[in-house]
A and B are shown apart, each in its own frame.
Chain A
Amino acid sequence: MNKLRRSLLLLLLVLAWALAPLLLSRHLIDLFVFAGLFTIGGLGVGLLLGQCGIVNLAQALFYGIGAYSSAYVTVQLGLPSLTGFLAGMLASALIAIAVGWPVLRLTGFFLALATLALSLIGNVLFFEWDWLTGGTLGIGGIPKLSIFGFAFDTPERVYYLVWPIAILVLLLADNLVRGRPGLAMRAMRDAAPAAEVLGVDMHRLKTAMFVICAMLGSLAGSLFAHYVSYISVQSFTVERSIAFLLIPVVAGSASVWGIIAGALFVTFIPELLSGFGDIHQVLFGLALVLVVTLLPDGLIGGADRLAQLLKRRMA
C-alpha cells in the first residue's frame, strides 16, 4: 500500500512538473530554471557538508569557472556549447585537485575559512583577468545552448533540460551515498580517527568529493551562462557561495533529495519577500534564522517530523 501511495505521489509530481510550464508565467518558469541550476550546484556543496562534514564556501568559484568557460569557448572561440561544458568541468576538476589536495588537510573552521578565501580569490581573478572574463563589463552575447542542433532557446525548453539533469545528478549522488564510498564518507564525518583506522583514505576521499562538487558547480555555471546569455563578476561573489551553502543547510544537510527543497527555498523565498521592498533581505535573514532554529534537521527533517506526528494523531 505504501509503495502504491508513493508511486502515485511520484506520478503526480512528475505530471505537475511536466505541466507546470504550460500554466506558469514566464517569470515563474525562470525561477524554476534557477532552482534547477541551484539544485545541481547545491548538490555538490550538500554532498560535502552532509556526507563528509566539510563546509565548502568556494562553490561560486567553480560556478564562475563553468560560466566563463562556456562563455569564452562559445563567444571568443566559436566552438560548440558542449565544448564549453567539458572545458569548464575539466578546468574545475583540475583546480579542485590542485587546491583541494593541500587545503583539505585542514578541518573544521580552518577549512571553511580556506574555502571562503578561495571564493574571494576567484572573485578577484574574475575581476582582474578581463582579457578572459570581461571584468566588470562581463561577457555578453553567449549563444543559447544547442545540443546536436537542438537549441534550448526558450525558458520552457531550458526548464525541460535543467530538471532532468538535476534529477540525474541527484540519482547518481543518491547511489553514491548508499554505496561503499558513501559509508566511508559518513564514517569520516562522524568519527574521523575510527574511519582512518578502518582503512578509509580520508584525504583522497575528501579530494575526490571536492572534485565532484567543483564539477557540479561548473555544470550549473555553464547552464547558467547559456541561459542568461550575459555574465559578469557580480554573479560569482562570496554571496553566491553562501547561497549554495544555504541550500543543504536549509534542506537538512544529510538529505540528497532534500537539496531540491533547499534550492526552491533560496530561489523562491527572496522573490516572494521582494514585495516588501527594502526590508526583504532582512526578512529573508529572519526566515533563515527561523528555519535553522525551529527545524534543526532542515526542511526535510521538519517534514518527516510532521508526517510522523500526523501518523500518530491518525492512529
Chain B
Amino acid sequence: MSGVVELQSLPSRPPHLPATLELSGIAHSFGGFKVLSDVNFAVPQGQIVGLIGPNGSGKSTCFNIVSGFLSPKAGRVLLSGRDMAADSIQARTRQGLMRTFQTPKVFERMSVLENVMVGLHKDGRSGILASMLRTPSARRELDRLRNTAEGACRKFGLGKLLDAQTGRLPAGQRRVVELARAYVGAPRLLLLDEPSSGLNTEEIEQLRGWIAMLNSEGMTILLVSHDMGLMTIADTVHALYFGEIIASGPMTAIQADPRVREAYLGG
C-alpha cells in the first residue's frame, strides 16, 4: 500500500504542461455493479499516458466516458479545462478528441483512401445540396479532402493500397488505416484503445513507431493496452484495478509495484 502512495505522489502532471485531458472524481456503475470509483488522472499536453488493468478493471468504461459513449454517474471530464459533460460525441470530436477501437472499426466496404477521407469529415462544409449539384466549392473541398487523405495514407505506408477495399485487408493493415484516419483529422488528444490487439510482434513494433511519430508531432495520447512492451512508450502509466487507480507513474515503477504485480501481472 505504501508503494502505491509513493507512486501516486509522482507528478503525473508536470507543472509546466497544461493538462489536455483531466478526469476528476469519475465514478460509474452498471446496474448495482461499480465499475469506476473516484478515478482521477490527467493527460498532459504532448505526453503519452497509459492506462493498464486486467479485464474488467474499467479501462473501456473509462475510455467510453472520455469519448462520450457513456455519461459518468459522478465526476467531470475536462478537455483543456472545459467540462465536456453536455457535449455529444461529435462535439468532442470538433474540440479535438479522437479515439480508435479495440477491434478496428474500419469502413469495410469503402476503400482505404475513402476511410481516411472520412477522418476529415469534421473539417468539411459542403452539405447535401452542394454535393448533389457538384458546386465548385464542393468539388474543391472534395479534392482537398482527397489530397490530404492521400498524404496521410502515404505517411502511414498505405500509398499502394489507396483503392483497396478495407474489409479485405489483414488485421494489421486495418489497424494502420484506423490510425491514419484518426491522425488525418489532427486531433489534440488521441485515445488509442488496445491498439496492439491482434497484431504480430513485427506489427506491434511498427505501431510503436507510429505512436512515437504522432507524439513527436505534438499529439497528446491516452493509450490503453495489455501490452507491457508497448506501454513502455508512455510517459506516465495509471494502473486500474476494480475501477480504482492503484498506481501511477512511469512504466518501470508500475511494473515494480507489488500491488500492480499482484493484481495485474499475477504476482
Interface, chain A (partner B; CB < 8 A): 172-173, 175-176, 178-184, 186-187, 189-191, 193-201, 208, 212, 254
Contacts and interface: CB of A to CB of B under 8 A. Distances in A.
**Leading 3 A-B pairs by shortest Cβ distance:** A179-B131, A199-B122, A194-B105
B138 A198 contact: no
A155 to B, nearest CB: 30
A180 B106 contact: no
Contact of A180 (B90, B119, B133, B142): B142
Given A172-B133, A182-B131, A198-B121, 18 more contacts: A175-B131, A176-B128, A176-B132, A178-B142, A179-B134, A180-B141, A183-B114, A183-B121, A186-B110, A190-B108, A193-B69, A194-B101, A197-B89, A197-B99, A198-B122, A199-B90, A199-B185, A200-B118
Given A179-B126, A180-B126, A180-B141, A198 B119 contact: yes
Contact of A195 (B118, B138, B141): B118
A219 to B, nearest CB: 14
- Interface class of chain A by DSSP: helix
Contacts of A197: 67, 89, 93, 98-99
Interface residues of B, number: 38
Nearest to B103: A191
Nearest to B130: A179
Given A190-B107, A190-B109, A175 B145 contact: no
Interface of B: 67, 69, 89-90, 93-94, 98-99, 101, 105-110, 114-115, 117-119, 121-122, 124, 126-128, 130-134, 138, 141-142, 145, 178, 181, 185
Contacts of A187: 107, 110, 115, 118, 121
A254 B115 CA distance: 17
14 contacts: A176-B131, A179-B131, A183-B114, A184-B118, A184-B121, A186-B114, A190-B110, A191-B105, A191-B108, A196-B89, A197-B67, A198-B122, A212-B128, A254-B109
A184 B93 CA distance: 15
B87 to A, nearest CB: 12
Contacts of B118: 183-184, 187, 195, 198, 200
A178 B113 CA distance: 13
Nearest to B98: A197
A196 B99 CA distance: 11
Nearest to A192: B105
